[in-house]
Amino acid sequence: MIKNKLKRGFTLVETLIALGIFAMFMSILIGSYSGIVRSLKEANDYRIMYSDARRVFDTVVAELREGIVDYGNNVYGGVCSNPILLNGSKNEIYMISKDGGSVTKIFQDDVKYGETSGVEKTRGVIKVSKSIGNEITLNSPVVNVKEFQVFAYPHLDPYDLQNVFKDAYQFQPFVLVKAVFEKEKFNGELFSVSFETAISSRIYNQVLVKKCAN
């Protein structure tokens, strides 16, 4: 007589344990994948902001390096300004071309870009103006200029005849520029990057710069 062999399957407890292990493994796998995707998005956001901020900052530095610090008494848009004291931090600066024929304004401004719940939103931008009304915005719409500061030294024109015998102002002019750029992440959080450098004027004879008529 041939006996039928009993075929054993998984019990309910074993099945539940197996499902639990599988669910745990899948949650770890999904969590790891989500973390990788999130890291890639954050890295891409940072790359976009850093690239834009680096380009803007390099443009500003190039303009400052190729010009002469305007201490006033120069023509800008047909308007004659008075000598100015460039002490403390400012969010704008005027640079004169090497031949004294043009003046470039570099400054921070706020522009409107939309509204939320009836409230208009603004973002900071850095602009370069070669003439009145001819302004170019350097940073892209996705990057906000949180802070832009320029420090000029010496505070008064060292080439002005009134200052040539004042030792406190007899230094080659240079500009310290600082900028903080900010961008919103994909999850709505904000992160920023800062740049700072000092630029020394390459012009050693500012008396050749065209002055306003007395």
Token look-up 């406190």 returns 168
Window from 138-142, 159-163, 172-176 with minimum mean pLDDT: 159-163
Mean pLDDT computed over every residue of the chain: 78
Q: Kindly tell me the burial class for residue 10, based on how many C-beta atoms sit within 10 Å of its own C-beta (0-12, 13-18, 19 or more).
A: exposed
With CA atoms as reference, report the closest residue to 193 among 41, 42, 54: 54
Residues 6+ apart with CB under 8 A from 159: 205, 206, 207
pTM above 0.95, yes or no: no
pLDDT band at 179, cuts 50/70/90?
Answer: very high
The pLDDT score that the predictor gives to residue 30 is 76
> Per-domain residue ranges for the chain?
38-208
Residues 6+ apart with CB under 8 A from 132: 76, 77
User: CA 85, 87, 93, 99: dihedral to nearest 10 degrees?
Assistant: 50
Task: Count Cβ atoms below 10 Å from residue 128 Cβ, excluding itself.
Answer: 18
By percentage, how much of the chain surpasses pLDDT 70?
76
* pLDDT (tens digit per residue) in 15-61: 778 788 878 877 887 777 777 777 788 888 888 889 999 999 999 98
Is it the case that residue 6 has pLDDT exceeding 60? no
The pLDDT score that the predictor gives to residue 9 is 64
The C-alpha atoms of residue 13 and residue 74 are separated, in whole angstroms, by 89
Residues 6+ apart with CB under 8 A from 1: none
pLDDT band at 189, cuts 50/70/90?
Answer: confident
**192 and 148 Cβ atoms separated by less than 8 Å:** no
For 7-98, strand residue ranges (E) read 68-69, 75-76, 79-80, 92-96
* pLDDT (tens digit per residue) in 127-146: 998 866 688 899 988 899 99
